[in-house]
Amino acid sequence: MSDTTQTPPVHPAWLPDAAFAPLGSRRVLVVTGPDAGPVGATVVDEVRRAVTTHGGTLTVADLASADDHDLVLRVAPDGPDTGFTRLRTGGVTVVVAGDATGLLHGLHDVVRAGEAAFGADHPPVVSRPLAPVRMLDHWDNIDVHPVMGQVERGYAGGSIFYADGRVREDLSRVAAYARMLGSVGINAVAINNVNVHATEARLLTDGLADVARVADVFRPHGVRTYLSVSFGSPMRLGGLATNDPLDPDVQAWWAATADRVWATIPDFGGFVVKADSEGQPGPFAYGRDHADGANLLARAVAPHGGTVFWRAFVYNHEQDWRDRRTDRARAAYDHFAPLDGRFDDNVVLQVKYGPLDFQVREPVSPVIAAVPRTRVAVELQVTQEYTGHQKHVCYLGPLWSDVLGFPLAENATRTVASIASGAPGPGTPEDADLRAGGITAVSNVGDDEFWTGHPLAQANLYAYGRLAWDPAADPVALLDEWIGLTFPGADPRVRETLHGLMDRSWLTYEAYTAPLGVCFMVDPLRGHYGPNVDGYEYSKWGTYHFADRDGIGVDRTVATGTGYTGQYPAPWRDVYEDLATCPDELLLFFHHVPYGHVLHSGTTVIQHVYDTRADAVELVESWVPRWEALRGLVDDRLHARVAERLTEQVRSATEWRDQVRTYFFRKSGVPDASGRPIY
């Protein structure tokens, strides 16, 4: 009798064997050289797997002629120092890299190109990552947290790293994940929650051997391993009487700990630290500032080439909602801008892309431009905490593209991506001291069969990696790239339908949730899922919309409000300060306005709220039959999972529409001009 309860195979994401057919059906020469190491072995293994499956041939040699080969993958001294060069000449496609990691990325570039990689001859094209560090932070707990579960803000099951109170014995899922990350250019992973609990803290000491096993799995794919550590570790783990960063015993404890870490994992990346934020210990307890705290760890890891990613997510979470001058959005700038120039060179200040908390729409954080003498990493959130918990289709590539391409500094000539990558803008002086930090994000995977719970949320992980490599990439093209790889050879209706559902899904999600840049209308009792317009309105967490009978929005102007607009460089401080120039999509983030205020679009604020919510739900409803029409054209299990999630999205979007529309009708007394029902 057959076993019908077997665990289904793990979905291959964007790396199914069929995606390798154009490469695998050809004659391939791999020249890795004598120092290729484990990443070089991965290149060979990938090609061998492809040619075995698709009938091509593989030749591996230290030195060999390109004759009689269709594709040459070669490590060479004349290759680029990072990335790779691809060209086609005389009917042969050649990928050249300066090291094995660049060659791995070049191999996957060929896979993405498919048959086009073997088309007409073309001159060399160099592909280099803009950001030196392209990291994913996992919020995984070893012990299941009573409130947050095993993966904090995780919407795809349990952890791929931990089970039964320890690192898993079987790391095969981690190996498959490492392969996914290496294929899109991600080169760093922090494997535990930034909210470091008691058991997770011991990864730094007792658990190092298990961390080394995880690092062994990531290393062959060009990915370095990091740990999130607690600033309170000297007391918690070392038995010291203090965590004071200026105490010699504390400094000695961190130095000795770093020595043990790198002795166990010689290519270890470094530490990620959340301090003095949401209850985590930090230097404030000792009258020290965050430069003191970050430099303590930086000096401990510096002899080993380590880096400290110090999160700027620091604010008072015990605020008084009665105080209209209190503004959580100001906090990170107020804490960190005065410290610019005091951080050691191996400290990277990790700044959330917006001033609040990964909202569906926020302005870019001014902190990113406020510390030019400090290395900065911009932090994104791939896991859909505020964008539908991976129950809603919400392709975030366009959001991240807008953020990374936003011309924040130097009179709107230098982008966020340039700042994070140490790259100049058109107005950057030639002698400028440019400092590279990187791009980081919170991961969205778990032990779910489809990695991300919602199969279509895989596109967010894919797009993050590709945009971290090239922030100028077109997110719509990346979406189509992901579709082509994940559903190779599918009926054209599959591509058309997926593109139609996903292309503007971020804007659709925004259209039925919080309007015009006002934030935090989510339900705090459901883990930030679903609507609760007043869920944070009288909250100690400090996120408000101030709706009353006359209007809505937060006055963050210098003239009459919290002064937040003054944290921006020119021209943005003036753009946001002035109602006439503030963009519609951010209006309520910066201004308190009457419901009858006319937007640049020509409609009033209240009618915009009414119309956009109703229109968005109608659009989401139309997705259900479109997806149903693909039954039999995609994998049955995948089809069923997406159908189930779309049903929930329609239900939730309807709840959003009705609660938000009704709330503002009851506040304003202004009817919907369209006559649609309000409750």
Q: What radius of gyration do the chain's Cα atoms show?
A: 25
CA dist 346 and 302 (Å) reads 7
- Report yes or no: 416 and 404 within 8 Å, Cβ to Cβ: yes
Task: Give the residue numbers marked as catalytic.
Answer: 278, 357, 385
Tokens representing 355 are 């001033």
Instruction: Report helix, strand and coil shares of the chain as percent, to nearest 5.
Output: 40, 15, 45
Tokens representing 679 are 């409750």
Contacts of 570 (CB under 8 A, 6+ apart): 411, 412
CA dist 509 and 505 (Å) reads 6
CA dist 227 and 188 (Å) reads 10
| 441 CB-side CA count, 13 A | 28
CA dist 651 and 637 (Å) reads 22
Nearest to 132 by CA among 568, 436, 357: 436
CA dist 27 to 57, 561, 619, Å? 5, 67, 48
CA dist 623 and 349 (Å) reads 41
Which helix (H) or strand (E) segment holds residue 400: the answer is helix 397-404
CA dist 214 and 671 (Å) reads 58
Nearest to 631 by CA among 497, 450, 500: 497
Residue located via tokens 């199969």: 455
CA dist 220 to 85, 216, 225, 504, 563, Å? 21, 7, 12, 36, 49
Residue 95 dihedral angles phi and psi, to the nearest 5°: -115, 125
Give the per-residue SS3 of 44-78: HHHHHHHHHHHCCEEEECCCCCCCCCCEEEEECCC
- Report yes or no: 334 and 423 within 8 Å, Cβ to Cβ: no
Nearest to 247 by CA among 309, 292, 201: 292
CA dist 536 and 534 (Å) reads 6
